[in-house]
A and B are shown apart, each in its own frame.
Chain A
Amino acid sequence: EAGVAQSPRYKIIEKRQSVAFWCNPISGHATLYWYQQILGQGPKLLIQFQNNGVVDDSQLPKDRFSAERLKGVDSTLKIQPAKLEDSAVYLCASSLYNSLGTSYEQYFGPGTRLTVT
């Protein structure tokens, strides 16, 4: 079974530029997550989708970050414009349907390492 795919693996941009990351989850996984992992910190959830609907985006900086999951499969995360503090690894994960009180394993992609200069 193919795992979670992400691209690109690495990206270097200058501040104020825009960048987009792509994620293809495991087939059949209804729930998709985007995490931001800043060096020295644990991954922080940015946004969670259930099929193509947003479940939680409370920690997404909406003035510069946006995400979509058209057709409930692939997802893109965009940053526009980027700031120095956005330098991090952006992880995508997917899982089976997650209802309240259910905790399925989340399967992660390899991440995109973003450096903003």
Chain B
Amino acid sequence: ILNVEQSPQSLHVQEGDSTNFTCSFPSSNFYALHWYRWETAKSPEALFVMTLNGDEKKKGRISATLNTKEGYSYLYIKGSQPEDSATYLCALNTGTASKLTFGTGTRLQVTL
């Protein structure tokens, strides 16, 4: 069974703080890693699809890096805002029918 781990489980920061989360996975048989943001009562929203070792992607204040050799990805949020409050999920595609295996998520709460 593929084990995708995320840490921390939850995080509470002040507006303006920068923060980061970790997604860890077995480093072999890897096709792509996906990051999603899931706000309460809304649809999970795709943030990044990452495929290459050393890949780095950015969308506004959010960026992500990938290290396939050591089996981890970091998601960074610079200058957190209350609207960043959500659960951040990572998911691994090992290529078996492109099935995604999700981690348990990091729940971020940003307060004023």
Q: Which residues of chain A have a CB within 8 Å of any CB of chain B?
A: 3-4, 31, 35, 40-45, 48, 55-56, 91, 95, 98-111
**SS of A interface (majority):** loop
A-B contact count (CB 8 A): 67
B105's nearest neighbour on chain A, judged by CB, is A42
Residue contact A99 to B98, C-beta cutoff 8 Å: yes
B36's nearest neighbour on chain A, judged by CB, is A108
B44 touches A (CB below 8 Å): yes
Most chain A CB within a 10 A radius of its CB, from B43, B93, B104, B105: B43
Min CB gap B69→A, angstroms: 19
Interface size on B, residues (CB 8 A): 27
Min CB gap A49→B, angstroms: 11
A45's nearest neighbour on chain B, judged by CB, is B99
Min CB gap A115→B, angstroms: 15
Q: How far is the CA of A99 from the CA of B101 in the complex (A)?
A: 16
Q: How far is the CA of A106 from the CA of B102 in the complex (A)?
A: 12
Q: How far is the CA of A66 from the CA of B15 in the complex (A)?
A: 45
B62 touches A (CB below 8 Å): no
Contacts A40-B104, A42-B89: A103 and B34 contacting too (C-beta < 8 A)? yes
